Amino acid sequence: MSETTPPAEQARAALREHMAEHLDAALAYLDGIPDPVERELTAQLLAEDLLPDAVKRVKAVRGAALQELRDRKLSLRKIGELIGKSTPRVDQILKGK
């Protein structure tokens, strides 16, 4: 990352890297299961149970964060500008979509 990268962007990049490392560790664990049946069952657990639950939790976090901004009287347009999303997308996120 160059020295001209804004601190907020650097922080987001570091956070992304940190989260990716955790996901990579889970996938490496999966790859390391020697028994193919157990590996498939564990992959199934990850794909059909854990990841969908994580997506639901992430949607809830996003909606709550945007609701907090709405509670501060920010318009959908202003929120969209802050997070780099369109006004309709902000509205969708607030509705849990």
Segment 63-83, tens digit of pLDDT: 999 999 999 999 999 999 999
Q: What pTM does this model have?
A: 0.75
Q: Does residue 67 belong to any structural domain of this protein? A: yes
CB-CB contact of 1 with 10 (8 Å): yes
Contacts by residues 49-54 (CB-CB < 8 Å, ≥ 24 positions apart): none
Q: What are the pLDDT digits (tens) for 16-46?
A: 999 999 999 999 999 999 999 999 999 999 9
**What was the pLDDT predicted at 1?**
52
Instruction: Report the residue count for the chain.
Output: 97
Question: Which amino acid does the sequence have at 90?
Answer: V
Q: Does residue 20 belong to any structural domain of this protein? A: yes
Q: Does residue 63 belong to any structural domain of this protein? A: yes
Q: Does residue 15 belong to any structural domain of this protein? A: yes
Q: Does residue 2 belong to any structural domain of this protein? A: no
For residue 4, pLDDT over 90 is answered with no
Domain around 23: 7-94
Structural domain total, the chain: 1
